[in-house]
Amino acid sequence: MKRRRFFILAGLSTGLLILPPALYISAPPLRKFAVRLIYKELNYLKLEPNGVEKYVDDFFNSSINNMLVNLKWKTFYYLRVSPTQSTQVYDLIKYYLLSTDFFIYKTDETRMINYLGLYNPYKSPIPNPYSFQIYPPKKESK
Amino acid sequence: MKYDYYDLIVVGTGFASTFFLKKYLEKNKATKRILVLDRGQFFPHAERLKVKQGEPSDFSHMEEPWEDAIINENKAKRWPFTLGFGGCSNCWWGCTPRFMPSDFKMNTLFGVEKDWPLDYDALDAYYYEAEELMSISGPEDTPFPRKGKYPLPPHTFTAVDKILNQTYGNKYISQPSARASRPTKGRNACFAKSTCDVCPVDAKFTVENSQMRIYENEQIELVFGAQVFSLETAGNQIKKVLYVKDGKDFEITGEVIVLGANPIFNSNILLNAGDTNRFTGKGFGEQLGMQVLIYLNNMKNTGGSTWVNANGYMLYDGEHRKDYAACLIETNNAPYYIRLERGKWLNMASFRMLFEDLPLDENFIKPSANKLIPRVSFTKRSDYTMKGIENMKKKLPGILSCLPVEQLKYLDPFPNEGHIIGGTRMGRSASDSVVDKNMIHHQYRNLFILGAGSFTTFSASNPTLTLSALSLYSADHSF
Ligand SMILES: Cc1cc2nc3c(=O)[nH]c(=O)nc-3n(C[C@H](O)[C@H](O)[C@H](O)COP(=O)(O)OP(=O)(O)OC[C@H]3O[C@@H](n4cnc5c(N)ncnc54)[C@H](O)[C@@H]3O)c2cc1C
């Protein structure tokens, strides 16, 4: 809490995306590994391709450059590191999904997934994927 | 300053001061000279929102980081707070359960610490009043005694909440909250944006949107940028309030003085004034919070509200409190806890477990070489709390047996709860405490010290509704 910078929760205490240092990436060619990771992990979904690349750019542009970590991303991809094994990969995929309309359309796998802009609860139309805004209460039958 | 003498001088404009002033103004029909000093400025909600949205704001420089306001000796422990008009009402999350009656009787019931000098029944009417003033949303059936409806209906349950409520009845409820479930006086309905600190739709109660109109009262002179650091005493009376404004020292005389700074600064002011009560500044701390992730099989945790959704009391009251801490469950549906396995994205619930702690002498506030900046020394969690965590880990799987749980993951305790408590505890006499049940200093009888600093014991429940009710109680019984 400020859950703002107060609550240290998944590095998201400000409500804006604060990336863990290990996600810093600078050299654009290396970003393709992050793009590939997203496609690999979400191979069962139809991802709008420009959106994935834009997301990866936005994701990494939101933090500072760090060459060593870039190299780590290549390793993640080639060693087939999965989100359960790495919080960095988990965060990359998680924020991708939160940055799209996937949850807003109730996790419908048949639809094309569109990127809406880097996840920011102050800007996302419906930031909480669990909420009653997406799953309104059923009317009680009388 | 308009005058050189005031009938009432109040320090701070947070919950403690505002609710106290509300009752004081109601009870005092004669015209009074009231001075309110706040160290910060008025930083309006609309401007806070701009900052959050990454837009420029002329007010952004007004935020004084809490880290600069204290010397925090234990860097692993954090004490976040917001300074300025409305205090932490600008950043709180609006969780407002009442305390349980047992919280006031820890010694009689469990042989732990001391009983409060007042009990739940004494505070009951003031709880209702505070709930009305904050337009609390909540359910009809609660684990603490409460009759009738809350001012606003409860927030909706998630699928998980529904099962837990069916299983545990009023021991598992939609959380009473100052986040409006419906549009209400000066506030919109919660939109589940999950950013409650600065609510994008202004659904959460703040002093600014409260419509209590306290600071518009013409008897009140409100001075910003006035940082109180000490008091001048004469025998058993406080004569003057000492403060710094624009880098210069000032003093002002008052008949009745009210400290509503926050537990850290209230203690610092008293200690700088030479208060020799042996409990002043001591027994400081807060509850311990930790998160448990609950991975569910074939069950989506959907349909809830913004982030904090419900409260569970299954580990709160009972004989176990003789040996270990009560735990309040806060059920969360934070957006950041999702799963990535195909089809299981929302098969996740999470509990924030809040454990009470004890007022230990090892944890204290003391003045530093800089009169404005207190030193915060927090070194110890009680065994009572740590045993509470162990017990919770043993009991939780059984408690959750009504749910299709795949796996539980316990995260490390959080570095802070935001619930600063202690330093000016309440009791029967100076031999066991700093203030009496009206929050008047045992020695300086014209000095009130408000807020959660006065709590005799910590409780596992969020403090703000209770400290607001205590302010109403205190002013009602003192004027
Ligand atoms: C992020 C966060 C989330 C929280 N969420 C919840 C929640 O959901 N539920 C809950 O019950 N509690 C919550 N809390 C705790 C809650 O905010 C506090 O219990 C409550 O604000 C205390 O009220 P107060 O009036 O005593 O102090 P504050 O609200 O801190 O107000 C203190 C006032 O005193 C002024 N002041 C301070 N020092 C001086 C000085 N030396 N001279 C002059 N003025 C001074 C400040 O500017 C301010 O106006 C949260 C806290 C934080 C930080």
**Can you give the pLDDT at residue A1?**
34
Does the structure show a pLDDT above 50 at B32?
A: yes
Which residues make Cβ contacts (< 8 Å) with residue B162, sequence separation at least 6? none
Q: pLDDT tens digits, residue range B227-272? A: 999 999 999 999 999 999 999 999 999 999 999 999 999 999 999 9
Q: pLDDT tens digits, residue range B414-431? A: 999 999 999 999 999 999
Question: How far apart are the CA of B424 and the centre of ligand 1, in A?
Answer: 15
Q: Is residue B165 part of a domain?
A: no
Place of tokens 């030479």: B274
Residue type, B110: F
Q: What is the mean pLDDT of chain B?
A: 97
Region B425-448: mean pLDDT is 98
**Can you give the pLDDT at residue A60?**
83
CA separation, residue B229 to residues B68, B207, B251, B372 (Å): 16, 24, 10, 6
Report CB contact under 8 Å: A135, B303: yes
φ, ψ for residue B231 (rounded to 5)? -135, 150
Q: Is residue B157 a contact partner of residue B304, using CB atoms and an 8 Å limit? A: yes
Q: How far is it, in rounded angstroms, from Cα A41 to Cα B340? A: 9
Does the structure show a pLDDT above 90 at A9?
A: no
Region A72-88: mean pLDDT is 67
Output b/e per residue, B93-111; b: 16+ Cβ within 10 A.
bbbbbbbbbbbbbbeebbe
Q: Which of B194, B197, B415 sits opposite A2 (nearest CB)?
A: B197
What ipTM, to 2 d.p.?
Answer: 0.88
Pairing status of strand B308-312 against strand B172-174:
antiparallel
**Can you give the pLDDT at residue A20?**
45
Q: Is residue B446 part of a domain?
A: yes
Q: How far is it, in rounded angstroms, from Cα B28 to Cα A70? A: 67
**Can you give the pLDDT at residue A89?**
84
Region B335-350: mean pLDDT is 94
**Angle in degrees, CA B241, B65, B283, rounded to 5:** 60
CATH number at residue B232: 3.50.50.60
Which chain A residues are closer than 8 Å to B93 by Cβ? Answer: 1, 3
**Can you give the pLDDT at residue A73?**
62
Taking CA–CA distances from B82, the nearest residue in chain A reads: A2
Region A107-111: mean pLDDT is 96
| Rg of chain A (C-alpha set) | 16
Q: Is residue B12 part of a domain?
A: yes
Does the structure show a pLDDT above 60 at A5?
A: no
Q: pLDDT tens digits, residue range B454-466? A: 999 999 999 999 9
Counting residues of chain B whose pLDDT is more than 90, the rounded percentage is 96
Q: Is residue B42 part of a domain?
A: yes
Domain ranges (residues) in chain A:
29-113
**Can you give the pLDDT at residue A25?**
47
Q: pLDDT tens digits, residue range B350-359? A: 999 999 999 9
Q: How confident is the model at residue A90 (pLDDT cuts 50, 70, 90)?
A: confident
Q: Is residue B364 part of a domain?
A: no
Q: Ligand 1, from B85, B92, B420: best to mutate by most atoms within 8 Å of Cβ?
A: B92
Using a CB–CB cut-off of 8 Å, the residues of A that contact B are: 1-10, 12, 14-16, 41, 44, 83-84, 90, 93-94, 97-98, 103, 107, 120-123, 126-137
- Looking at chain A, how many residues does it have? 142
Domain containing residue B135: 5-154+176-283+419-478
Question: How far apart are the CA of B334 and the centre of ligand 1, in A?
Answer: 23
Q: Is residue B187 part of a domain?
A: yes
Report CB contact under 8 Å: A123, B53: yes
Q: Is residue B465 part of a domain?
A: yes
**Can you give the pLDDT at residue B113?**
98
Which chain A residues are closer than 8 Å to B415 by Cβ? Answer: 8
**Can you give the pLDDT at residue A63?**
56
Q: How far is it, in rounded angstroms, from Cα B307 to Cα B291? A: 13
**Can you give the pLDDT at residue B19?**
98
Report CB contact under 8 Å: B302, A10: no
Region B15-36: mean pLDDT is 96
Q: Ligand 1, from B18, B215, B262, B356: best to mutate by most atoms within 8 Å of Cβ?
A: B262
Q: What is the mean pLDDT of chain A?
A: 75
Q: Is residue A88 a contact partner of residue A23, using CB atoms and an 8 Å limit? A: yes
3-class DSSP state for residue A21?
Answer: helix
Q: pLDDT tens digits, residue range B264-293? A: 999 999 999 999 999 999 999 999 999 999
Q: How far is it, in rounded angstroms, from Cα B311 to Cα B171? A: 8
**Can you give the pLDDT at residue A77?**
67
**Can you give the pLDDT at residue B236?**
96
Within chain A, what is the greatest distance between any pair of CA atoms? Answer: 63
Region A66-81: mean pLDDT is 58
Domain count, chain B: 1
**Can you give the pLDDT at residue A68?**
42
Which chain A residues are closer than 8 Å to B335 by Cβ? Answer: 98, 121, 127-130
Q: How far is it, in rounded angstroms, from Cα B81 to Cα B79? A: 7
Does the structure show a pLDDT above 60 at A44?
A: yes
Q: pLDDT tens digits, residue range A13-36? A: 333 444 444 444 445 667 888 999
Task: Find the distance separating the first CA and the last CA of chain A, reported in whole Å.
Answer: 42
**Can you give the pLDDT at residue B285?**
97
Q: pLDDT tens digits, residue range A113-126? A: 999 999 988 988 99
**Can you give the pLDDT at residue A88?**
80
